[in-house]
Structure 1
Amino acid sequence: MNGQSILSEQASSEQASAGQTSSSAPKTDSADGQAFIAEIVARARAAQKIAATWSQERVDEVCVAVGWSVYNDENIRKLAELAVAETGMGRVEDKITKHKNKVMGVLRDIRGVRTVGLMEEDPARGLRKYAKPVGVVGALAPVTNPTATPASNGLSILKGANAVIFAPHPKAKKSTTLACTFMREALRKVGAPEDLVQVIEEPSIELTQELMRQVDLIVATGGSAMVKAAYSSGKPAYGVGPGNAVQLLCEDADPEDAAKKIATSKSFDNATSCSSENSAVVHRAVWDRFLAGLQKEGGWLCTAEQKKALRHYLWVTGKNGQENLNPAIIAQDADKIARGAGFDVTKGTRFLIVQGEQPIESDRFFWEKISPVLTVLPCDSFEEGLRFVERITDLCGTGHSSGIFTFREDYIDRMGLYMRSSRIMVRQPMVSGNGGTFFNGMPSTVTLGCGTWGNNITTENIHWKHFINVTWLAMPIELNRPKDEDIFGDYWKRFGK
């Protein structure tokens, strides 16, 4: 997501790992800040050294215990209520659902997977692969998902017998700390070192930067400034590109089905997820039925005047002269956003709908909005719609995701070949589909790589495989060198030697 980054916030410097008395770190003395981070990293390394000796069965036992601590109903409700109260973003019930799905999804994915010792063997090629920990991971958590992110990423990191230190967003430090507290309690319950999970309870820019310098690997989930800082830290890093998810409805789409799925996805947790549909490009053959379906599902179709009012409310000009999202609208209820813009909507409105305008590049509503506001745009053909989707994602979100509602295999294949998207959802709500769900085969995660298109190192969903080192052991095999004629024969026949 774009929006507020941990590295653009000032915070106090008193620090601690969850479940322990807070340690102090002076606000101005960088040397003391370095020493404080060095101390918690040292604790993490000591704990990880123990985890590195574990069998696969012991690792799995620990993961199940930690998973239950952030899955059971009592703890999840506490986390969801605190997250909403502290950040003012999202909905409690949706956050509970998110926790249930994400944690169970990760537990499903890591079950039975070998991440310790010999993990794979290929006798024909004489290859053996041995999994080993990456060490201590620094994990930066966003304000929009302050509890689901550490729960999901924490399990994937622990699966590799690693330790993790979370750096929360300053506006979500209590809820992230509580999630880590639950995980630490679970570690203690099964006799594992609590310091496998730690958190900076009072985060600051300087301490987060120092954390990134001292750990072995960074995973940055959040704003572009955060990700850029992670990549500039000098340590290996997994970051995410901006989200600007766009759906394409073709002429053969089921518009009522699409409307129901997109409405549910768009309004879920007030669009805190970067996978929340930001726009929908719709073939004119299904345009009217789709809009009617959206309104039936709680969408409010804005008039031209209401769109104009929203335009001035959703984006504000800062002191630097740059136009950015108004923090007051991020992940807020649709009726609250409407009132802020100066108009009222009917009771039960879940999201706002605005019609996009040409040229696409001049209409700000095609940018990521991180709020329950959906932009819709008609198209006259599949190819025109595909080009519109490309242009919209290129404004911000190249490499992230796109989706398509169609039953035509040629359309599906064309989109797969053409779009510079790391993930494409077919007839699915993107907020759940992108990060892995129980109705598709995507790895479950809250951290979505966007490839070089989004200035990331990978296009994959960041999951357990990204938190292990793999040693390749090669045994001698029978000589397997091809003849020159096997490789160059066809070329010689056409062009000569």
Structure 2
Amino acid sequence: MYKVDKDLLAIQEARIHIEGAKEAAIELRNFTQEELDVVVNKMAIAIKPHLEELAKQAVEETHYGLCQDKLLKNRFACEYLPQQLANQRYVGVIKENYEQKTVEIGVPIGVIVAMIPATSPVSTTIHNAFIAIKSGNPIIFSPHPRAQKTIQRTVKLLKEAAIVAGLPEDGINYMQLVSSTSTNELMNHEETALTLVTGIPKLLPKLKAANKPFIYGGSGNGPVFIERTCNIQQAIHDIIESRTFDNGIVSAAEQSIVLDGPIVEQAKSELTRQGAHFLSEEEAMKLVNVLMKKNGDLNPESVGCSACELAKKAGIQVLPTTKIFIYEQAYVSENNPFAQELFSPILALFVEPNWQEACEKCIELLMEGAKSHTLVIHSNDEHVIREFSIKKPVARVLVNTPSTLGGMGATTNLFPSMTLGSTSLGIVQASDNISPEHLVRIRKVGYGVRTLNDCFNESGNQSLHSKDTQESIEVILRKIINEMKE
């Protein structure tokens, strides 16, 4: 009796999907922006009635987070994102300057492979499908094993609607057999134009080894600075609302608080009043045993649990109104489990005497593990805000807003996205909120408007190689260099 090799079957499935997507990409080159918009709108209409049941299925399958918050993310991707995409052009002629006689043409990049996380499986799938089709690219989804059924069902609903709207059969597909071998095949295939990964850190080494274009939207270690001039009550409210959203599994959420010295007591009091529990040393160690495996890896069973659920597992006595844990620390250490990204309602706390030293602490936190995802500052001092924005090694800075909601573009005017690019991660194509703009190449067209002599001599009568012309060129170049130095 022959044994079926599932890895080989998965590799074959990946190759079949890639070949189909390659053919779909050729067909999609003939689609106008208006035709692509029809497909996106039909997908949005078709998936909308299923958003709540998909949110419930995601929680049941993964045991991560809160159904009501997943529904909000699903609605954000399904309803708000298409509104922002409407009337935007990404393919064909997207910009034309009649005065300058230049044209910009958007060209789809080709086959996109999307790796979907278990933390936000439905909303991320919807987002990636919309931006891929809006930009004229076929997309293949590789589900996270922990959310496989939910992601597959989401893609199936989107695919059915897209085909009815005119999309090629292989314009959208998903892997039915999920394995590390099929993932490698998808990422390394010569026809894969780009791999889009959201919140799966273990894939980073493989992405880099593939030496192919990828966008990594993921891991954050985002600090939030509470500066003395801010509205403390509102700042604390925003931070707790953000860190507890979907029980803390959104990567854009705040991971640590840096407090300005003069407002420490007031801020701590407000944190306690709004549901924070400050951990003792003993309690922190008990919690670590729940959060981490013995080898130091994150325990997946702790991901997306509420503060009260974690307290019960760790044997810690807390009030039933407890929303979040705070663990105060003196310094940043890579060996400290509370300094790394935790997908739970937990925040490290650091106190600094002034904004200058708080600035340095935030840089330390951002450089820890080279995450450089998102920084938040609560302040009414524009000078301090500007200094933080200029000096931080970070992809995005949010001001006076919850990080989770502001980062995804819900409470800010950043592009609405479930995939937030990061910096300092190797071959990365974008560090901002990922949109259809990142899935096209811009072809520039320039019409001839002058001769080469006209560049240096308005009359055009003098030879470019004459002595006088050479001298005038040297004068112009010196002037340009001096202006650049100034």
Give me the whole-angstrom Cα distance separating, in 1, the residues matched to 2:143 and 2:21: 17
Per-residue deviation at 1:256? 0.4
Aligned counterpart, 2:342: 369
Give me the whole-angstrom Cα distance separating, in 1, the residues matched to 2:7 and 2:144: 20
Aligned counterpart, 1:232: 209
Checking the alignment, whether the CA contact within 8 Å between 1:227 and 1:240 is kept in structure 2 is no
Q: Secondary structure at the match of 1:395?
A: helix
Residues 199-247 of structure 1: per-residue CA shift (max 9 Å, x gap): 1123100011111223222111122221332232243211235311110
1:339–1:357 Cα change, 3 Å: farther
> Which range is displaced more, 333-342 or 87-96?
333-342
Aligned counterpart, 1:27: 6
Q: Secondary structure at the match of 2:259?
A: strand
Give me the whole-angstrom Cα distance separating, in 2, the residues matched to 1:412 and 1:47: 47
Q: What do you get for the CA RMSD once the two structures are aligned? A: 2.3
1:126–1:228 Cα change, 3 Å: farther
Per-residue deviation at 1:455? 6.2
Residues 158-200 of structure 1: per-residue CA shift (max 9 Å, x gap): 1011111000111110111111012012213424334321111
Give me the whole-angstrom Cα distance separating, in 2, the residues matched to 1:260 and 1:181: 39
Give 2:322's match in structure 1, choosing from 349, 352, 375.
349
1:101–1:359 Cα change, 3 Å: closer
Q: Where in structure 2 are the equivalents of 1:188-207 lying within 5 Å? A: 188-207=163-182
Aligned counterpart, 1:244: 221
Aligned counterpart, 1:84: 59
Give me the whole-angstrom Cα distance separating, in 2, the residues matched to 1:43 and 1:91: 37
Matched, 1:407 2:365: no
Per-residue deviation at 1:300? 2.0
Aligned counterpart, 1:326: 299
- For structure 2, list consecutive stretches of 5 or more residues without a partner in the other structure: 457-472
Q: Secondary structure at the match of 1:96?
A: helix
Q: Where in structure 2 are the equivalents of 1:6-21 lying within 5 Å? A: none
Larger Rg: 2
1:93–1:225 Cα change, 3 Å: same
Matched, 1:475 2:442: no
Q: Where in structure 2 are the equivalents of 1:145-160 lying within 5 Å? A: 145-160=120-135
Give me the whole-angstrom Cα distance separating, in 2, the residues matched to 1:199 and 1:297: 43
Residues 64-88 of structure 1: per-residue CA shift (max 9 Å, x gap): 1112333x2x311111111111111
Matched, 1:256 2:246: no
Aligned counterpart, 2:366: 393
Give me the whole-angstrom Cα distance separating, in 1, the residues matched to 2:183 and 2:139: 13
Give me the whole-angstrom Cα distance separating, in 2, the residues matched to 1:306 and 1:33: 45
Give me the whole-angstrom Cα distance separating, in 2, the residues matched to 1:97 and 1:380: 38
Aligned counterpart, 1:60: 37
1:453–1:163 Cα change, 3 Å: closer
Checking the alignment, whether the CA contact within 8 Å between 2:21 and 2:171 is kept in structure 1 is yes
Letter in 2 for 1:324: D
Q: Where in structure 2 are the equivalents of 1:447-486 lying within 5 Å? A: 447-452=419-424, 456-479=428-451, 481=455, 483-486=473-476
Q: Secondary structure at the match of 1:291?
A: helix
Give me the whole-angstrom Cα distance separating, in 2, the residues matched to 1:314 and 1:366: 13
Give me the whole-angstrom Cα distance separating, in 2, the residues matched to 1:365 and 1:89: 20
Letter in 2 for 1:122: N
Matched, 1:213 2:185: no
Aligned counterpart, 1:131: 106
Residues 335-379 of structure 1: per-residue CA shift (max 9 Å, x gap): 121122221322232221221233555643122111111112222
Matched, 1:487 2:459: no
Moved over 4 A (4+): 359-362, 490-493
Letter in 2 for 1:431: T
1:226–1:39 Cα change, 3 Å: same
1:157–1:347 Cα change, 3 Å: same
Checking the alignment, whether the CA contact within 8 Å between 1:241 and 1:456 is kept in structure 2 is no
Give me the whole-angstrom Cα distance separating, in 2, the residues matched to 1:454 and 1:285: 39
1:455–1:290 Cα change, 3 Å: farther
Per-residue deviation at 1:476? 0.9
Per-residue deviation at 1:436? 1.4
Give me the whole-angstrom Cα distance separating, in 1, the residues matched to 2:248 and 2:200: 15
Aligned counterpart, 1:292: 269
Matched, 1:141 2:116: yes
> Which range is displaced more, 134-143 or 123-132?
123-132
Per-residue deviation at 1:257? 0.3
Letter in 2 for 1:457: Q
> Which range is displaced more, 413-422 or 228-237?
228-237
Residues 233-282 of structure 1: per-residue CA shift (max 9 Å, x gap): 24321123531111001111111000110000000001111111110111
Give 2:278's match in structure 1, choosing from 294, 301, 315.
301
Aligned counterpart, 1:422: 395
TM-score scaled by structure 1? 0.87
Checking the alignment, whether the CA contact within 8 Å between 1:242 and 1:396 is kept in structure 2 is no
TM-score scaled by structure 2? 0.89
Give 1:101's match in structure 2, choosing from 71, 76, 82.
76
Checking the alignment, whether the CA contact within 8 Å between 2:220 and 2:341 is kept in structure 1 is yes
Identity %: 23
Give me the whole-angstrom Cα distance separating, in 2, the residues matched to 1:433 and 1:400: 13
1:264–1:51 Cα change, 3 Å: same
Per-residue deviation at 1:46? 3.2
Letter in 2 for 1:100: R
Letter in 2 for 1:283: D
Checking the alignment, whether the CA contact within 8 Å between 1:451 and 1:457 is kept in structure 2 is no
> Which range is displaced more, 158-167 or 127-136?
127-136
Give me the whole-angstrom Cα distance separating, in 2, the residues matched to 1:235 and 1:343: 47
Aligned counterpart, 1:338: 311
Letter in 2 for 1:27: K
Give me the whole-angstrom Cα distance separating, in 1, the residues matched to 2:441 and 2:481: 40
Q: Secondary structure at the match of 2:120?
A: coil
1:478–1:267 Cα change, 3 Å: same
> Which range is displaced more, 362-371 or 141-150?
362-371
Checking the alignment, whether the CA contact within 8 Å between 1:445 and 1:462 is kept in structure 2 is yes
Aligned counterpart, 1:113: 88
Letter in 2 for 1:458: A
Checking the alignment, whether the CA contact within 8 Å between 1:138 and 1:165 is kept in structure 2 is yes
Residues 306-328 of structure 1: per-residue CA shift (max 9 Å, x gap): 1232233322332xxxx222222
Aligned counterpart, 2:470: none
Matched, 1:272 2:249: yes
Give me the whole-angstrom Cα distance separating, in 1, the residues matched to 2:289 and 2:12: 46
Give me the whole-angstrom Cα distance separating, in 1, the residues matched to 2:136 and 2:334: 46
1:362–1:380 Cα change, 3 Å: farther
Give me the whole-angstrom Cα distance separating, in 1, the residues matched to 2:367 and 2:109: 34
Give me the whole-angstrom Cα distance separating, in 2, the residues matched to 1:180 and 1:366: 36
1:38–1:283 Cα change, 3 Å: same
1:45–1:362 Cα change, 3 Å: closer
